Amino acid sequence: MLIIGSGFFFKLAIDPVGREFVLIVGVIFLIPGLMLVSLAMRSRLILDGSRIELRSALRTFTADRSEIEGLRKGQNQYGSWTRICLKENRGAFNVSDSFSGNAELYDWFKGLTDLDQRDADQITLEIGKQDSLGAAEDDKGLNALKQAKAWAIGLSVIAGLISIPVMFVSYTLLYTVSLTLLVLSPLLGIFLLHRFRLLFTFFKSKTDPRADIGFVIIWPGIAMLMSYQTGNDPTRLVDVFQLIYWVLLAIVCYIATLFRIAWKSPSPWGMFAGILIFGGIYSTGLINVINTMPDSSIPSPYQTVVLKMYETQGRHASTYLRLAPWGPMAYSDDVDVPKRIYQQVTVGDQICIGMHSGFLHAPWYTLAPCPKQLSAPVPLIQ
C-alpha cells in the first residue's frame, strides 16, 4: 500500500503546480514501502546455544546471553515483539513474536530480567521515598499513582468536553474560550510529563504503573482537524503553504519536548512515528489558530459562484463546493464545507467571502451563502 501510494503521488508530479511537495510525499511513502519489502525477504531468527542472531531489513544483530541486560515487551495493532536490551547501553533490537518456533524462543528467554517489571517496581519505590507525598512508604507510591490516574482521567474528560463547542457550537464567545483551552491542553499534558515524570507518562506499556496522559496531548489536534468539517464557520487559507515554516517549527518544538520520553520507551521508533503524526496534526491546528484568532483585520468582501457540488461517501463523508475564481484565487477551487452550508446553496448561487490578512500574514477566509435580498446593497470586490 505504501508503494502504491508513492506511485499515486509521483503521478501527481506530472502537474508542475506543487510538484516539489508531491515528490517529497511520494519519496516519504516509497522509502518505508521498500523497507517493508526488504524486511519480508531478509528476516531470519537464529538460536545457536547461548547466541541469538536477528537479520532485519538492513542490519544483522547478534548477542550472547551474557551480554543481555534484560527484555521488554511491546505491542500495537499490528503485532507484538520482545525488545532485547544489551548491557552498558550498547543498544537493543526487537524480535517479532511472528517468527515460527516461538516455543523454543521463549525457552531461550527464560531467566533473563523483565526490565518492564523492574522499572515499574523502581518507579513505585521512588514515589514512596518522596517526603512530600506523606504517609507510609509502601502506601505513598500507590496513593500517588491513584491520584495521578484520577487527574489523567479528569483532564481527558475535560479535553473531550471542551472540544464539543469547537466542533458544533457557533456562539462566538463559547467557541473562542473552548478553542483556547483546547490549544492549551497538550501544553498542560507535556508540562505534567516533565514536572511529574514518576506519575505521568505517554504511550505507556502494560506494566508501567504511571498514569497515561496521552489523550490530553493527542485529542486536541484531532478535534481541531475534525472541526474543519463539523464547525459552523471553518476558516481556510488562501495558500495552504504560506504557514508551512511555522508548522514545521511547531512540529520540531513538539518533538523536542517529547524526545526524551520517546527515546526511553520500549519501542522508540514507533513512538517517534506517533509523535510525528499527532504532532503534525496539532501543530497545523495550533498555527492556524494563532493566524486567525488574534487577527483583528477588517475582512475584504468578495463574491463568487458555485460551479459544482458533490459529496464523498464512506467512513469520512464530506461535502464540497467548486467555486469560480475570485480575488487572489485565479482558478476554480474545490472547498469542503459543513453540511449546513452545502444544503443552503445550489449550482449557480452566489457565495459571499470575507478574506482577512492573517495574524501571521497568511490570508485566510470564511464563506457563507449570500442573502437572497439585501436591505442595503454592500459594494463587493469582484
Domain range 44-113, CATH architecture: Roll (2.30)
- Judged by DSSP in three states, 92 sits in strand
How many angstroms separate the CA atoms of 155 and 216, rounded? 7
Which residues partner with 310 through β-bridges? 320
| Amino acid present at 278 | F
How many angstroms separate the CA atoms of 271 and 255, rounded? 10
Taking each helix axis as running N to C, give the angle between helix 268-292 and helix 244-263, from 0 to 180 degrees, rounded to the nearest 10.
150
- In the block, which residue shows the cell 457550537? 169
Cβ(90)–Cβ(67) below 8 Å: yes
Alpha carbon separation from 73 to 115, 120, 132, 199, 376 (Å, rounded): 9, 13, 33, 21, 70
Delimit the domains of the chain by residue range: 2-42, 44-113, 122-292, 300-369
- Which phi and psi angles does 376 have, rounded to 5°? -135, 115
Cβ(36)–Cβ(43) below 8 Å: no
Distance of CA 124 to the CA centre of its chain: 30
List the chain pLDDT tens, one digit each, 382 residues: 999 999 988 888 887 766 788 888 889 999 999 988 988 888 888 889 999 998 888 889 999 999 998 888 877 667 788 888 888 878 888 888 877 777 888 889 888 988 888 877 777 777 766 644 444 455 666 777 788 889 999 999 999 999 888 887 767 788 888 888 999 999 999 999 888 888 888 877 777 788 889 899 999 988 888 776 665 556 788 887 888 999 999 999 999 998 888 877 766 777 888 888 899 999 998 998 899 888 888 888 898 999 998 888 766 677 888 899 988 888 888 888 877 788 888 888 888 888 999 999 899 888 878 876 344 444 444 4
The grid coordinates listed for 63 are 548477542
Q: pTM of whole model > 0.75?
A: no
Which of these, 4, 88, 91, 96, lies nearest to 43 by C-alpha position? 96
What DSSP string runs through 30-48? HHHHHHHHHHHHH-EEEEE
- Under CATH, to which class is 300-369 assigned? mainly beta
